[in-house]
Amino acid sequence: MPKFLDLDELSKEDQMLKEEVHRFAKEVIRPASIELDRMPPEDRIKPESPYFKVMKQMKRLGYHRIYLPENKGGPGLTPLQRYIIFEEIAWGSLGFATALGVDMIPFVSAALYGTPEIYEELVVPWIEDSEGKFHGCWGVTEPEHGSDYLIALREEPGLVAKFGRGNVLAEKDGDEWVITGQKSAWVSSAPVATHCGLHAQVKGSRSIAEGLFCIVPLDADGVKKGKPSDMLGMRDDPQGELFFDKVRIPEHYVIVAPGFFYGIFCDQLLCLTSCGMGAFAVGLARACFEEALNYARQRVQGGVQIARHKNIKLKLYEMFEKVETARYYVRKVTEYTHKRIIERQTADASPRHARAAQIYAKKIAYEVAHDALQIFGAYGLSKEFIIEKLFRDARCMLIEDGTVEVLSLEAAEDVVDNYEKEFYDVNHLMRILG
């Protein structure tokens, strides 16, 4: 069981939840993630792949429903409980944590902002799924626009227009929307997904900031998937391209219509995903720290455990400090953000604080993974120990879901413009979408 002093002095219920998820992460998720990591990309998405077995079990445990408000079919968890689930799953595998996170995006967005019609049609079957029949993914990144999407709402409109046309365009045609274009090869879970929560630029608009968010069933006519990518890390969550050739979706599949509130949605969705990524990063960092601590207590050099060597001891302390500070900051931001987006549904979380949670936790996760691998010495470079995989995953985190540099620049705009404001200021959105 996860043994560490939790400064939040968890209730019995929280403690039981933590133990349950940790057991699952240790006994089911982690072994499957190691197996997947060593498989060729094409084999990871075959029906017999361990990926599907784990996802099916996660659905049975109801982990996919945790972000839903209680009145929309959620289990009524607290922000802390949601955080605990994410940290523990990411402790087991960053890939499976990401798969769980992106699975939620189209369906939770539809539950929060969609019509009653789409709730019944798509969200209810997804909620009730215990076989892993449905799997969501999040289509943002494009061959020509990665970080562009993150910074588009805060840059000067003139500059954003120079980013160029989006690679996926949506055009209204009667009661339907027609989607055409391509998302890049890094869309997490795309090769195994059944539905995509898709960002698309409205055809004829000035920039990628003028978009919409819709759900595209990936078995619709005109959808094609690329081959799964062969990446450095996060190999336990298949990634790949999505192609849309005049794909038609009904109007109510557009969850967020073009206009000012599309900006609010993007800003707030990134607050929510930042909390998730923050929790994932802490889980990964903790896994690295615990591996290094255990190894350093056993490995003998110079006649003593290396944990007694001053340089190693100092490293271990610094790793501990980073994991602890990141955990409690991410938890605090999660509480603030979830209250506003999931519970009160006022969509006014603080972008700069949420981004800081993601950025800080990602950075420390990489630093902790780096130091942990160093403690392992040459063993850390071999596949004999999991630290080699964890290090590759941590390196990927500095890029996936927004590079830390661009996320920092975006957050910096909010800090410079709004630091003194005790509310969510939307003047940046007025400038570009008003």
Partner 1 sequence: MAVVYPSREWMEELHKKVNADEEYKKVAANWEGDYLCVVQVDEEFVKDIQNPKILRGFLGMLDSVPKEKREKFRGTPSEKMLEALGLSLDADLSEVNFEEIARRIAENPGMILETAKGATLNIWMDFWHGEFRKIEVAVPGEHEDAKFKLIGPYAVFKQLVMGKADAITLVIGGKLKMQGDMAYMMRNMATVKKFTDLMASIPIES
* 349 makes contact with partner 1 (CB under 8 A): no
Written as one letter, the residue type at 20 is: E
Q: How many residues bind partner 1 (CB under 8 A)?
A: 29
* 250 makes contact with partner 1 (CB under 8 A): no
In angstroms and rounded to an integer, the radius of gyration of the C-alpha atoms of the chain is: 21
- Candidates 254, 288, 397, 407; binder of partner 1 (CB under 8 A) is 254
Q: Phi and psi of 385, rounded to 5°?
A: -115, 150
d(CA 300, CA 312): 12
Contact 236, 100 (CB under 8 A): no
Contact 366, 397 (CB under 8 A): yes
Contact 327, 87 (CB under 8 A): yes
Q: Quote the least distance from Cβ 91 to partner 1, whole Å.
A: 34
Q: Quote the least distance from Cβ 222 to partner 1, whole Å.
A: 24
* 427 makes contact with partner 1 (CB under 8 A): yes
* 342 makes contact with partner 1 (CB under 8 A): no
Element (H or E) spanning 188, and its range? strand 176-188
Scan for tokens 């949670």, then name that residue. Answer: 357
**Closer to partner 1 by Cβ: residue 256 or 359:** 256
Q: Quote the least distance from Cβ 409 to partner 1, whole Å.
A: 22
414: which 2 tokens?
């909010």
Which positions from 13 to 52 touch partner 1 by CB under 8 A, shown as an x/- string?
----------------------------------------
d(CA 58, CA 53): 9
Written as one letter, the residue type at 364 is: I
* 429 makes contact with partner 1 (CB under 8 A): yes
Q: Which stretch binds partner 1 (CB under 8 A): 29-37, 192-200, 386-394, 420-428?
A: 420-428
The sign of the dihedral angle between the CA atoms of 300, 302, 307, 311 is negative
Spatial neighbors of 29 by CB under 8 A, at least 6 apart, are 54, 89, 92, 93, 96
Q: Quote the least distance from Cβ 81 to partner 1, whole Å.
A: 23
218: which 2 tokens?
């990936």
320: which 2 tokens?
């501990």
* 265 makes contact with partner 1 (CB under 8 A): yes
Please count the other Cβ atoms lying within 10 Å of the Cβ belonging to residue 335: 16
Q: Which stretch binds partner 1 (CB under 8 A): 21-29, 114-122, 161-169, 239-247?
A: 114-122
Q: Quote the least distance from Cβ 422 to partner 1, whole Å.
A: 9
Q: Quote the least distance from Cβ 355 to partner 1, whole Å.
A: 18
Q: Quote the least distance from Cβ 31 to partner 1, whole Å.
A: 41
Q: Which stretch binds partner 1 (CB under 8 A): 100-108, 288-296, 399-407, 424-432?
A: 424-432
Q: Phi and psi of 135, rounded to 5°?
A: -150, 125
Spatial neighbors of 12 by CB under 8 A, at least 6 apart, are none
Residues 143-202 that bind partner 1 (CB under 8 A): none
**Closer to partner 1 by Cβ: residue 55 or 426:** 426
Q: Which stretch binds partner 1 (CB under 8 A): 32-40, 341-349, 369-377, 393-401?
A: 341-349
- Candidates 38, 46, 246, 344; binder of partner 1 (CB under 8 A) is 344
* 3-state DSSP assignment of residue 215: strand
* 73 makes contact with partner 1 (CB under 8 A): no
Contact residues toward partner 1 (CB under 8 A) are 112-116, 254-262, 264-265, 344-348, 423-427, 429-430, 434
